[in-house]
A and B are shown apart, each in its own frame.
Chain A
Amino acid sequence: MFETLTDKLQGAFDKLARKGRLNEKDVDEGLREVRIALLEADVNFKVVKEFIAKVRERAVGAEVMRSLTPAQQMRKIVYEELIALLGKPAKIDLSGQPPHVVMLIGLQGSGKTTTAAKLGLHLRKQGQRPLLVAADIRRPAAVQQLEILGKELDLAVHSEGTSVAPPQICANALRRAKESAYGVVIVDTQGRLHVDEQLMVELEQMKGQAAPSEILLVADAMTGQDAVSVAQEFHQHVGLTGLILTKMDGDARGGAALSMRSVTGVPIKFLGVGEKPGDLEGFYPDRLASRILGMGDPLTLVEKAQEVFDPEQALKMEEKLRTASFTLEDFMEQLRQVKKMGPLSQIMDMIPGLSGLAGQIPEGETDRQLVKIEAMISSMTPAERHDPGVIGGSRKRRIADGSGTTVQEVNQLLGQFRQVQKMMRQVSRGRTPDLLSMFR
């Protein structure tokens, strides 16, 4: 089984019990696990090396706080250092004279065009009047892509087809923005390799024409070790002012963020969390740190749950619980709701202690489980559904036969149901449910 960093650290420190200080040997033992966790999260090798050295310096000889075990103390230091390295979130710079020009640059397919539309929407919500600029004349239909997005969102798009050179398009767009009082100009550029000298020169020319106040590197959260050289090259050529990490809605740990941040020193400004124009989020260093370390992301989980669970229905459920009328049918309904939060694997990834386990569950497995559960419950009589207590050995056999499952699976279901009942009771008493218990 894939362990989380927390478990691993715990393992590494178990032998030591409580001690007053972290000694060199203990620290190195713990840091080996940290190193692996970071590399597995795609943090660049050299960045990991530097980071470990820094943590080591702070950890060796550090006092173990009375309330903490050595493993917890170690984790605390790692976590804090990671948050510090990730830096503070930052907004788009809108100081100075408008129009403010924001240039989006990056490798091919990283999400620049989609992000241009997202940013346009975001800035308009803040009372700005944005103009999107279609300056990618290379990728087939890139201009149309931005035009369609602009139309859908009712955002103005400046496009000149594919025969005018991008620096010229920038100059023209800037003139238009001044004339028509667009406060923000968002330039969508062509994807380019950081080692493509010719296109880097073009980028410098665009910068010259557009005089941007922001040059944001749009990078894929799934990027591996190469994130360092990509960020470094772009930064050297045009001077980045910030980073946007896209496709964070997947299960990538996002270590590239740390790599890029550490070689450029510029802030992470946004995270892309989906394909829709509204899928742009602020960056929270603590959440990202947890995610990179494989410590789960409980806050996002809570947010997701809030999105999906209908408060009215929750009230009804609560009522049922208080009156002890929560049945297996309600249980089914609950499972369906949880499913709406996304694949179980993804949900598990956000739960500390379970993250990392997700990859072990074959895709579709949870769905198959749900089908089975549905079959078992429909094979029960109404009386059994309302009071599973009456289900004894022979009834279990009948239910198993009727649903094409096994007695063992019926037992499992009944056990899970009891867990949920327990959990629901906790909720109705105003406590946070122990979600973990559901999966044990």
Chain B
Amino acid sequence: MIGRGKNIEQSLSRTRRSFFGRIGGLFSQTDLDERVWEELEELLIQADVGVTTTVDLVQAVRDESGAQGLRTPSHVVEAVQQRLLAVLGNASSPGRSQEGLWVILVVGVNGSGKTTGIAKLAKYHQRHGRRVLLAAGDTFRAAAADQLKVWARMLGTDVVAHQPGSDPGAVVYDAIKASQARDADTLIVDTAGRLHTQYNLMQELRKIHRVIKKQMADAPQETLLVLDATTGQNALSQARYFKDAVDVNGVFLAKLDGTAKGGIVFAIASELGIPIRYVGTGEDVDDVAEFDPERFVAGLFAE
């Protein structure tokens, strides 16, 4: 756990109060009747887990309930949690072992929390004693570079930025050169928000990815998709397209401090094998944590 600000537990506890008070019945019941299964489905669907995933999961637990001797609602909840954890566990993440420049490309749809997430990640890596450089690859949205610069000033890191409207590929090219020249070991690249269905913008993103690869064959070592936790089923579509375009290997789940649960990450982990790496829990640089599957799953069910 990192961060001195609001931590994930505080954020999730607010969520619990406002959202799960009602679900309490699930635990107070002692019989395993039809209502329990229904409430379980309702809970998962309302957490944005998705109908298909939910129905499959609940059915699977139900099928095994006899053989496994699941007799009470809490047995059942535990079994569901185990399955959810297994889904998250299947998606593994890259470890940072190698020497040299570590490049993190940050992508996602509009307004999901990329730039703020980058500020948080910068601080995270600074805490690990790394020299961080930022690349202002969003040359499109009004004042996007200014936004990144405000964070950079606060964190004491440098930003490589070009004029608004310029080619983001050129920004990234310069940023890698600058990282090497300035002896930075961590480069975090911001990109403009784009809907995954926008063909030309996705091509542009592929190009940014290629520019990085061309200079450093093993970079970007991390390509993080920033998802807004309030997003529903569309997040799966986002993940699918972004993965296809730039080989996303991690999710940064932002805005988990609201009341949304971010349940769509299960489908993303199981169907696309993309692991969840970080969660964002507020608007400040410290509002970030490494993803903790147990806590996340417990959060879905907590009262």
Contact = CB atoms under 8 A, between A and B. Distances in A.
A145 B111 CA distance: 13
Q: Which of B47, B230, B261, B283 has the most CB of A within 10 A?
A: B230
A241 interface: no
Contact of B245 (A109, A230, A364): A364
B260 A226 contact: yes
B45 A225 contact: yes
Interface string B142-160: 1110110111000000000
Interface in B208-254: 228, 230-235, 237, 240-241, 244-245
B51 A36 contact: yes
Given A144-B142, A363-B196, A111 B202 contact: no
Given A140-B147, A145-B143, A225 B46 contact: yes
Contacts of A107: 230, 255, 258
A53 interface: no
Nearest to A41: B233
A229 B19 contact: yes
Given A141-B150, A229-B19, A342-B199, A222 B283 contact: no
Contact of A363 (B47, B50, B245): B245
B232 A255 contact: yes
A75 B215 CA distance: 56
B34 to A, nearest CB: 16
Interface in A106-160: 107-111, 138-142, 144-149, 152
Contact of B197 (A110, A145, A194, A250): A250
B195 A249 contact: yes
A58 to B, nearest CB: 24
Contacts of A297: none
B143 A42 contact: no
Contact of B46 (A45, A362, A364, A367): A45
Q: Which of B147, B149, B240, B260 has the most CB of A within 10 A?
A: B260
B140 A275 contact: yes
B228 to A, nearest CB: 7
B244 A363 contact: yes
A74 B109 CA distance: 36
A222 B140 contact: no
B230 A251 contact: no
B65 interface: no
B48 interface: yes
Contacts of B9: none
Interface string A204-229: 00000000000000001011111001
A250 B258 contact: no
Q: Which of A108, A148, A224, A346 has the most CB of B within 10 A?
A: A224
A260 interface: no
A223 B231 CA distance: 4
Nearest to A191: B283
A56 interface: no
Nearest to B260: A226
A359 interface: yes
A111 B193 CA distance: 12
Q: Which of B140, B142, B228 has the most CB of A within 10 A?
A: B142
B111 A144 contact: no
Contacts of A249: 195, 197-198
Contact of A222 (B50, B141, B234): B234
A396 interface: no
Contacts of B50: 40
Given A193-B258, A226-B260, A148 B142 contact: yes
Interface string B92-123: 00000000000000000111110000000000
B232 A229 contact: no
Contact of B142 (A42, A109, A149, A226): A149
A152 B143 CA distance: 12
Contacts of A39: 45, 51
Nearest to B140: A275
A73 interface: no
Contact of A224 (B110, B150, B233, B245): B233
Interface in B13-61: 14, 18-19, 42, 45-48, 50-52
B48 A225 contact: yes
A339 to B, nearest CB: 8
Contacts of A222: 109, 228, 231-232, 234-235
Nearest to B45: A45
Contacts of A364: 202, 244-245
A386 B49 CA distance: 54
A224 B264 contact: yes
A252 interface: yes
Q: Which of B47, B151, B231 has the most CB of A within 10 A?
A: B231
18 contacts: A45-B46, A107-B255, A110-B111, A140-B150, A144-B142, A222-B109, A222-B232, A224-B48, A224-B230, A226-B258, A226-B259, A229-B259, A247-B111, A251-B234, A252-B232, A255-B232, A275-B141, A362-B244
Q: Which 6 A-B pairs have the closest CB atoms?
A: A224-B232, A109-B111, A42-B232, A140-B150, A141-B146, A145-B143
Interface of B: 14, 18-19, 42, 45-48, 50-52, 109-113, 140-144, 146-147, 149-151, 195-199, 202, 228, 230-235, 237, 240-241, 244-245, 255, 257-261, 264, 283
Given A109-B112, A145-B147, 17 more contacts: A42-B232, A110-B111, A141-B143, A141-B147, A145-B146, A195-B258, A220-B111, A222-B228, A230-B230, A251-B195, A251-B237, A252-B234, A275-B140, A359-B240, A363-B202, A363-B240, A367-B199
